[in-house]
């Protein structure tokens, strides 16, 4: 299936956000995931489905001031 | 309501003629107390605009002294202040801009032993610090003391701003709903380790200042429950909707954090607040 990841089209086999994080090789603790304009609560990543044409943005934790 | 002096009526005239602010709102600002963590890149524009707006009491915590490498972005300081504590430098700038403002300085690192007492004295907290242990400490202290927190962060060409008021409703998220715990050491670099576009601090800090003034006045739509993300290279602001995480360790249904936690510094270079 195809998703829009950070503005770019990408093929994925991930069925949930949790699987997508693993597929992308990201450190879960340092990111937030926006799914269709809303940030998905982390504790629900494993049950939040990824669907065809979803718009997903990965927001990285930053801490500079 | 405060009896304005003639000088105050003139100074704040462009606020007073705004129906959303008015004499009543200006009076409210003069009676407001804001606590800022960090007198650095973000703290500089925040302190400047809050002082100009006539926020009556501004508390500033920062353990650092002004360094030449700060001046590329930390505009509340200047070359003559290199080597003096940032909080003193900020106080001088604020007082020469607006003598109405009382400045409380905290020239030390805030920690689990002192943060709640300090936060309790203020109406609103603004985080512009440069390290994750302090970000989590401030979030938790604001949650326990039921104070609104306007959090700002930046890195390279990116900025993030969010308002957290988890005490305001059952749906309102806190910082830990977004990021539950500090990153493992070395995984997320700080300003002291990586570059930052100086003017980005102005773009992000002024958003924090605008939101602070709106929160104090109770006007417009609060940024609570939203995360603003700024990409300076693409010149794009995005506003994301945040949700409370029912499993949040601090404000969730089965919270496990019941007191302040001291996290180790992820990086020994990060000694100060900004």
Chain B positions touching A65 (Cβ under 8 A) are 38, 40-43, 127-130, 152-154, 191, 273-274
The minimal CB distance from B190 to the residues A27, A59, A63 is found for A63
Nearest to A65 among B177, B181, B191 (CB): B191
User: What pLDDT was estimated at residue B5?
Assistant: 97
A1: pLDDT strictly greater than 80:
yes
Pick from B47, B86, B80, B114: nearest CA to B271: B86
Q: What is the pLDDT of residue B268?
A: 41
Please name the residue of chain B whose CA is at the shortest distance from the CA of residue A36.
B240
Residue B9 has phi, psi (to 5 degrees) of -60, -40
pLDDT per residue, tens digit, chain B (274 aa), is 889 999 999 999 999 999 999 999 999 999 999 999 999 999 999 999 999 999 999 999 999 999 999 999 999 999 999 999 999 999 999 999 999 999 999 999 999 999 999 999 999 999 999 999 999 999 999 999 999 999 999 999 999 999 999 999 999 999 999 999 998 877 776 556 679 999 999 999 999 999 999 999 999 999 999 999 999 999 999 999 999 999 999 999 999 999 999 998 755 444 344 4
Which residue stretches of B121-272 are H helix? 132-145, 175-178, 200-217
Task: Answer whether residue B74 is part of any domain.
Answer: yes
**What's the CA gap between A39 and B175, in Å, rounded?**
13
Q: Which pLDDT value is given to residue A46?
A: 96
Residue B119, domain extent: 32-241
> For the CA atoms of B109, B111, B116, B119, what is the dihedral angle to 10 degrees?
30
Q: What is the DSSP letter of B140?
A: H
Question: In total, how many domains does chain B have?
Answer: 1
Find chain B residues with C-beta within 8 A of A64's C-beta: 41, 130, 153-155, 190-191, 194, 196
Q: How far apart are the first and last CA of chain B?
A: 36
| CATH number for B159 | 3.40.50.720
The set of residues, in sequence order, having a beta carbon less than 8 Å from that of B168 and lying 6+ positions away, is B148, B224
Q: According to CATH, what is the number of the domain A2-60?
A: 3.10.20.30
Nearest to B38 among A27, A57, A65 (CB): A65
Report the pLDDT value the prediction gives residue B190, as an integer from 0 to 100: 58
Residue B78 included in any domain:
yes
Write down the residue that tokens 């007073």 correspond to. Answer: B16
Question: What is the DSSP track for B20-54?
Answer: TTHHHHHHHHHT-EEEEE-SSTTHHHHHHHHHHHT
CA distance B39 to B76: 8
| ipTM for the whole predicted complex goes beyond 0.95 | no
Strand segments, DSSP code E, in B73-178 are 102-106, 124-127, 149-155, 158-164
Which residues numbered 9-48 in A keep a CB inside 8 Å of some CB on B? 27, 29-30, 32, 34, 37-44
- Domain regions of chain A by residue span: 2-60
* Contact status of B232 with chain A (Cβ, < 8 Å): no
């Amino acid at each position: 299936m195809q998703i829009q990841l950070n503005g770019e089209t990408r093929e994925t086999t991930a069925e949930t956000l949790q699987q997508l994080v693993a597929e992308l090789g990201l450190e879960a603790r340092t990111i937030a995931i926006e799914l269709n304009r809303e940030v998905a609560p982390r504790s629900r990543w494993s049950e939040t489905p990824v669907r065809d044409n979803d718009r997903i943005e990965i927001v990285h934790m930053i801490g500079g001031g | 309501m405060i009896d304005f002096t003639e000088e105050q009526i003139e100074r704040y005239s462009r606020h007073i003629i705004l129906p959303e602010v008015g004499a009543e709102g200006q009076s409210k600002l003069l009676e407001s107390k804001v606590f800022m963590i960090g007198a650095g890149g973000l703290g500089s524009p925040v302190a400047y605009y809050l002082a100009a707006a006539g926020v009556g009491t501004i508390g500033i915590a920062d353990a650092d002294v002004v360094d030449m490498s700060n001046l590329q972005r930390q505009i509340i300081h200047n070359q003559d202040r290199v080597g003096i504590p940032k909080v003193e430098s900020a106080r001088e700038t604020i007082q020469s801009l607006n003598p109405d403002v009382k400045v409380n300085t905290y020239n030390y690192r805030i920690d689990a032993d002192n943060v709640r007492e300090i936060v309790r004295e203020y109406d609103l907290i603004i985080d512009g610090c440069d390290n994750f242990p302090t970000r989590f400490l401030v979030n938790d202290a604001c949650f326990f003391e039921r104070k609104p927190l306007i959090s700002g962060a930046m890195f390279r060409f990116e900025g993030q701003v969010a308002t957290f008021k988890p005490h305001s409703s059952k749906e309102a998220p806190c910082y830990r709903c977004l990021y539950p715990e500090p990153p493992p050491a070395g995984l997320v670099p700080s300003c002291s380790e990586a570059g930052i576009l100086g003017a980005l601090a102005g773009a992000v800090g002024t958003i924090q200042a605008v939101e602070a003034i709106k929160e104090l006045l109770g006007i417009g739509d609060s940024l609570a429950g939203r995360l603003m993300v700024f990409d300076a290279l693409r010149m794009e602001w995005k506003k994301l909707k945040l949700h409370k995480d029912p499993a949040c360790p601090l404000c969730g249904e089965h919270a496990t954090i019941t007191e302040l936690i001291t996290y180790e510094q992820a990086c020994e270079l990060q000694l100060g607040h900004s």
